[in-house]
Structure 1
């Protein structure tokens, strides 16, 4: 019997000749009328081998699943000649959300290097239960029942169920399936109250998949979520379940009349001839996790311990060991390792009292991978010695709890010796015989000397109220008050006119900046000098003509001066001063001569402009 079946199959494949020259048909189909909330299929089918399917933008319906691709094959025997045609289909599961008539644009595919478009699909969405349109495709249920908990489930696991407080714990959520999964979405993230968490999976489109046997059944497993947790308190802590929606694909077996032979049933259900699948939505819920967090031991706990738990190392460095007073140096303190590094606090560094220390800038270089959280945290201190002398930044101690040994460990940074020379800036006054700043308390005289000057005596019972000028003095306060109110109201009116106030103060502000530039010129402080001269020139134009700083440019300066009828030579001189200010700092040669020349040029151009505008 088997030989007969094999011979029949061999003859059949010998007779097969692929249909050629047939007209290509790429069409879209769906139900014409649906109700709000209904789920229905949108199917794109083409009678040829297609590639590069490009779906349209579906705006008016919710896309629940798809596109899922399937293949169907039909055979026809005419005059002992077997012709075979293949039809490819791309199926969406849509849901109607709003009433109305909507049109889904065409899709496109490539066949033998040519692009083809399907027809658009118009669907009417109505209230209530919509009648099925003729020829509409009905959604079928999978044969053999629904998906059971043994076919598809999600499970949460943790690598440590009894960690120390602050210890890194990795929790993994895996989906186990024996059926194809088209898509999934997490509808409720697990609650992690009492933990600080860090997501370890950055790209959810590339899941770690493998096979695993559970209770004698083999499953395809995918890690859908992975987190590193750090307990912030001890005790029994609970992690609530994760909830998610999954769209699974179930093979639909269609009955064939006239064929009861299991050989033919197996043959026509083979993947070579294509299979039909149905999408089924299922809600999954993971198990709850209970974690018993142990408190850190109190015995032998160092005073420097601030909560670091893991395995760490430290390093520290300074950018200079010799400098002048009022100059700055940078000290970097870096903690590297694996654990709750993002929660590590700044070290307790002790600096000399003569040093001015700013709050550190914290830089994190932390990586989250499948193995957990690791990296480094750097504390960068800006330190300014205010007085000359030889100083020492003492060693700093960093303590952490080592998980592997279950003990506290302390690391020490090296000492740094700093030599500070007398600077040229404004150092603080130093008392002779002392190298440190001291706080002084002024004590006033406690003995009052006898007065030796002549005393001024006045008659008894002599009062100012009886003086002839008393009425005049009595009238002076109201007059002064009225004059003050008039002057104040006039001043308020002027101050409300911001443009007028800026115009009046433009020259004064520019001179103040030029005076500061002169001070930096004498000190040969180039950067500060260029900044003040530039602010003086641009600020004068901005205030004088009420031009916002964001719109200041060479063109706006030129136009503003022309509007005030300033002569061309003076405009050219002002523009030249602005250009010189921008490029002089980068010019080669003696910077002192360039700075002095630009300073005089700025004074001259502002003075000439002010005189012309008056």
Structure 2
């Protein structure tokens, strides 16, 4: 039996969440259909018009007679009415009446109930003795596929008939197609009639027994090999064949990996890289924990590098020392105190005074910057004579800035 569960509504329902499924007794079940989204359609129920959406379909397999209670669904719908709100729902009670099978079941009835259609096909009707042919019978419809067996066709004195190979394309064991493949091998030549395939079932629509019987068919068998390993049979069972063992006279000797020199080279490289990795990791950790202190340390290192480079620039060309020293001091102060780069010297010094920089250091910076900017445009002889003194002032300012940072 197929039980369908629908949600009927006149509200703006946005979603449905299935919370529980309470089963009754006397049956097994399987999911036949369960849409992933709500798809509404117009419907009428008890004289009123609704929008409805399929929630779920279950296939039930009764194993007792009488009145059985269908599973009860419980869930929550999310609706929109001046805002979202939820509402708990449960399906209406439903019962299924399971009757006894009618009397006088036909021979061969194995419990099949439903509505079925049949088709059949022989791989060939012209064959040699010892060769194999495939007799395919297809059963299509809706019924209790997982509760009946495939008919066995007995071998005869002229034909060897195998048990059927069964393949199913069935949804929830209820609706679809079952394919039966019988392998037939003739034992003698001549015109040989095939046995009839007979299948009995109970039609669930009108409650009567029905019987399908295959049409009369004959094989034209010629003399041939009596071996049963024909091409058709081989194709059918190839996937189950185990290949022969490949002989091997000798096997290589394989040493464990840790006996290889390259293995220990890799291990040594890993251990050697550990201190470097730990240093980088600690450095990165300090940078992340306190980025402000990290930035100040970076600026101090840059200032020290500027002092070293200033001495080299002085030895090469005193004229290049002035702009270099000016740029070093201005860049350090602007980055350290967050002062915009476009400010004039007086404005810069005012901001430094607000930052409560030491007055003697502030005065030294003012004098130094004014002196080097004057020297840049002074005559060559004055410029060269004052360079050494300004380099000494630059050295004092750098030392005082670094000392102030340490304090």
TM-score (norm 2): 0.50
Structure 2 residue runs of 5 or longer lacking an equivalent are 229-233, 235-242, 254-407
Check 1:386–1:413 CA distance in 2 against 1; reply closer, same or farther (3 A cut): same
Within 5 Å, which residues of 2 pair with 1:263-342? 277=83, 279-298=84-103, 300-342=104-146
Instruction: Tell me what 1:240 maps to.
Output: 71
**Structure 1 moving runs of 4+ over 6 Å:** none
Name the SS of the counterpart of 2:112 in structure 1.
strand
CA RMSD of aligned residues (A): 3.5
Name the SS of the counterpart of 1:204 in structure 2.
coil
Among 180, 195, 210, the residue aligned to 1:394: 195
Shift of the alpha carbon at 1:346? Answer: 0.8
Among 412, 420, 433, the residue aligned to 2:213: 412
Rounded Cα–Cα distance in structure 2 between residues aligned with 1:213 and 1:416: 54
Shift of the alpha carbon at 1:294? Answer: 1.0
Instruction: Tell me what 2:178 maps to.
Output: 377
2:32 and 2:171 in contact (8 A); partners too: no
1:355 and 1:386 in contact (8 A); partners too: yes
Rounded Cα–Cα distance in structure 1 between residues aligned with 2:25 and 2:220: 51
Rounded Cα–Cα distance in structure 1 between residues aligned with 2:95 and 2:206: 25
Rounded Cα–Cα distance in structure 2 between residues aligned with 1:232 and 1:286: 24
Rounded Cα–Cα distance in structure 1 between residues aligned with 2:17 and 2:118: 42
1:318 and 1:331 in contact (8 A); partners too: yes
Check 1:419–1:546 CA distance in 2 against 1; reply closer, same or farther (3 A cut): farther
Check 1:349–1:220 CA distance in 2 against 1; reply closer, same or farther (3 A cut): same
Rounded Cα–Cα distance in structure 2 between residues aligned with 1:356 and 1:339: 31
Within 5 Å, which residues of 2 pair with 1:118-267? 169-191=1-23, 193-212=25-44, 219-251=50-82
TM-score (norm 1): 0.35
Q: Which has the higher helix share?
A: 2
Shift of the alpha carbon at 1:386? Answer: 4.4
Structure 1 residue runs of 5 or longer lacking an equivalent are 1-168, 252-276, 428-524, 526-533, 548-614
Name the SS of the counterpart of 1:306 in structure 2.
coil
Rounded Cα–Cα distance in structure 1 between residues aligned with 2:37 and 2:178: 30
1:398 and 1:410 in contact (8 A); partners too: yes
Instruction: Tell me what 1:587 maps to.
Output: none
Check 1:387–1:215 CA distance in 2 against 1; reply closer, same or farther (3 A cut): closer
Check 1:231–1:546 CA distance in 2 against 1; reply closer, same or farther (3 A cut): farther
Shift of the alpha carbon at 1:171? Answer: 1.8
2:131 and 2:227 in contact (8 A); partners too: no
1:545 aligns with 2:251: yes
Name the SS of the counterpart of 1:307 in structure 2.
coil
Check 1:346–1:290 CA distance in 2 against 1; reply closer, same or farther (3 A cut): same
Greater length-normalized contact order (CA 8 Å, ≥ 6 residues apart):
2
Within 5 Å, which residues of 2 pair with 1:3-42? none
| Superposed CA offset, 1:568-589 (max 9, x none) | xxxxxxxxxxxxxxxxxxxxxx
1:328 and 1:383 in contact (8 A); partners too: yes
